[in-house]
Each structure stands twice: as structure tokens, then as C-alpha cells.
Structure 1
Amino acid sequence: MSSPSFDSGRELDAQDIVTLTDAMGRSLDCYVENEITQDGTEYYFLMPVDQPVVILAWDEDEAEESDLPETELVEDPEELAEIFPDAKAVLAEHDLILQDTAHVMTVRGELPPLEEDKILSLEIEDDNFEDEDLEAEELQELARFYHLDQLYSIYTPLEPIPIFVKVTEDEEMEILEPGDPMIQSLVDTLLLQDADAD
């Protein structure tokens, strides 16, 4: 993944917004929640301004035979580009605007009320931590649609998705990938800061 760029023209505080931009020219506006300097390097803890979403593909044949059907997170850029118009159209019916933003797709608009039967608990597997228990992430279903006889669902995480970035020597922001040991170090630092503040 290429290093996103950002506008660092002024001092940041908790409610400033930075814009990450990827190699394809897509952008993602994020609130700056916190700034950490560690070993001489600046890191930022960001939250997307708009609501992140993911798209899952379902195995309908297995769904008929199992209470827990197989589902797969759609990550292939070509597949996402192909189904994007259908996903955007179905969300527009719910007054939500799907955005092909950098790093993660987002929606703009008022989310529907939370319903118990629209919540999916998805276990996220991390190749960097094979020996650890899988953590379940709860997602809220926003819409379903078909594309070429394949069933897809659009979900948004119930918990906010944080983005940790490192400021490089070229004044660019480099996103830390999930599983990067530095993320846990930064989380520990934030927890200590919160404890000291109390």
C-alpha cells in the first residue's frame, strides 16, 4: 500500500481533520483523535469522518443447509469496482451515499435504527497472530443486493474503526497495517495517558 498524503499546514488538535489520499487519488477525511510522539516519530490516531462499511459475499447453497452460512469479506479491488454501482444504488434507497474512499469504503447519511436481527458477529482472522483466539467484530447490516446471481450484504461496524498512521520524514502519513506491533504499543501509551488524566 502506498503512503497516503495529508495536509500538515497547521498544528493539529483533537477535532482537526486530515485527508488521507491513496495512489488512485481517492481521499478519506479523518478526525484527529490523538497525537503521539514515540522514539522521535510522530503518530496519529484517526477516526474516519463518515461511517466505514464492508461488503460480504454469501454462499447461498450452504445457507440453506446451515444456521451459520459461509461468508467472505470482499477485498479484491476489481470485484469491488464491479459491484460498486449496485451497492451504491441499493444504499441510495435508504438515503445513504456510498463513497469509494481511500483505505476503506464509507457511507454518508443517517444510519437506520439498530435491530437485533441485523447484527452479524464476524470473527476476524489475523495471519500475524495465528495462536491467539479470534476476536468477534459486530457488524450492522445496512442492505443486501444481488450481482450476477451472487448475494452480497453491506455492513458497518458497531464499534468505530481507528486508523493509526506514522508521519514519515517526507511529511507523509503511512498507515500502520493491522497486526503491526507498533499499534499495540500506541494503544498502551494512550491507555496510560487516559489513566494519568484521571
Structure 2
Amino acid sequence: MSSSKFEKEHEQYEEELVTLIDSDGRTLLCYIEQYLEYEGMTYLLLMPVDIPIVMMSWDEEEEEEDLVEAEMIEDGEEIEAIFADAKAVLAEQNLTLKHTAYTLTATGELPPIDEEQILTLNLEEEDSQLEPEELQFLASFYHAEQKYSIYTPLTPLLFFARYNLDNELELVSPDAEEFQPILEELLADEPE
């Protein structure tokens, strides 16, 4: 008898792929990293099959290099405006940029990690206990006289999802208090 109130009895999820679909109909193919059954619902921890991509814009007006302001590009219209340029500079590195659901992704082989090309993001949220995020630099470009850089996270990007009562896959907020025990259970079983 298991000491956990969570069940893991569906072998159908092992080594399986699922597709997340956003409100715009874009898709994101993901590996199922972990899953569990809880109160008749299946919860999943998912990782994109392709390489997650992050784009940043830079404020080059700053005098001191250590104080340069960078902003992560999340606005859909801005992504659309710079997408062709970003796709072109990644193509020079044999990477194909894709506008997928919930995150941009790329296919191809990443260049070797160069410690001097790693950007560390320090999150400025109050009461944040999150570790700084490290990003591997891939390319830079200019669009409308604005500098942009393209990165990929060094830490795997994970999505928390579940099958709802209509058996449709939906994202679940990892911050919602009601889902914290489920997420903790999934992360506790995450392979090293």
C-alpha cells in the first residue's frame, strides 16, 4: 500500500507525447515528464520537445554595462513584428524558430555552452525565493533601431497541466494554493 494519496497507475503516460494548444490555436508538443491521478483528474508535468526560446530587448542608453536594462519580450504583437528577423538570425546557426503555444521554440542543435555567453536573470519580485535563471545566448539582431537578443534557458522549461472533465488538456496555475500539493508531488518524483 502506498503512503501517498496520489496514484500513478496509468502506464499509458510513460514515454508519451501530448500537445498543448493555446487560445490562438498554436500548438506545443511536449514530453510527459511526470503524471499522477488525484481525485479523478490526471495531472501532468510537461517539457517541450523542441528548444524553448526567450527573446530580450535591451536599453542601450545605460552608461554602465553592469546596469543595462533588459526586458523579456512577451507581447504577441512585438513578437510578430520581430519574428522574421529572429528566425533569420537563428537560421544562420542551423536553428529553425517556431511560433508555438506558450513559448517560442526552435529545432536544431544548440551550440556548445560558453560560460562567457550566459546571462543570469535576477528576478526582482518581492518575497521571491526563486533562484536566478540562467540563459544561453544564441544570437542578437536589430529591428527598428532596437537591439534584441535570443536565448534558451539552461534549466528545463516545465508546464503544469491536467486533463479536465471534458478530457481536454489544460494548463494549471502552479501558484494556485489548491494545486501546490499536487505540483510538489510531481516535482518530488522528477528524475535528476
Shorter-chain TM range is 0.7 to 0.9
Structure 1 residues 65 and 98, CA gap change in structure 2 (3 angstroms): same
Instruction: Specify the alignment match of 1:106 in structure 2.
Output: 105
TM-superposition CA deviations, 1:41-75 (whole Å, max 9, x none): 2101111000101100000011x323231100111
TM-score with structure 1 setting the length:
0.84
Q: Contact 1:52/1:107 (CA < 8 Å) preserved in 2?
A: yes
Structure 1 residues 115 and 41, CA gap change in structure 2 (3 angstroms): same
Instruction: Specify the alignment match of 1:92 in structure 2.
Output: 91
TM-superposition CA deviations, 1:24-53 (whole Å, max 9, x none): 221110011121112332101111000101
Deviation at 1:179, TM superposition (A): 2.5
Instruction: Specify the alignment match of 1:19 in structure 2.
Output: 19
Instruction: Specify the alignment match of 1:171 in structure 2.
Output: 167
Larger displacement relative to structure 2 (139-148 or 168-177): 168-177
Counterparts of 1:12-161 in structure 2 under 5 Å? 12-62=12-62, 64-125=63-124, 130-161=126-157
Q: Contact 2:58/2:70 (CA < 8 Å) preserved in 1?
A: yes
TM-superposition CA deviations, 1:75-126 (whole Å, max 9, x none): 1100001000000000000000000001110010000010011101112355
Q: Contact 1:124/1:136 (CA < 8 Å) preserved in 2?
A: yes
Q: Contact 1:14/1:31 (CA < 8 Å) preserved in 2?
A: no
Quick one: percent identity of the two aligned structures? 49
Deviation at 1:135, TM superposition (A): 2.6
Deviation at 1:154, TM superposition (A): 0.5
Counterpart of 1:186 in 2: which secondary structure? helix
Deviation at 1:166, TM superposition (A): 1.7
Aligned residues: 182
Q: Tell me how large the CA RMSD over aligned residues is.
A: 2.1
Counterpart of 1:102 in 2: which secondary structure? coil
Distance 2:188 2:87 in 1: 41
Distance 2:33 2:78 in 1: 33
Q: Letter of the aligned partner of 2:162 in structure 1?
A: K
Structure 1 residues 50 and 194, CA gap change in structure 2 (3 angstroms): closer
Structure 1 residues 193 and 135, CA gap change in structure 2 (3 angstroms): closer
Q: Contact 1:125/1:134 (CA < 8 Å) preserved in 2?
A: no
TM-score with structure 2 setting the length:
0.86
Q: Contact 1:164/1:183 (CA < 8 Å) preserved in 2?
A: no
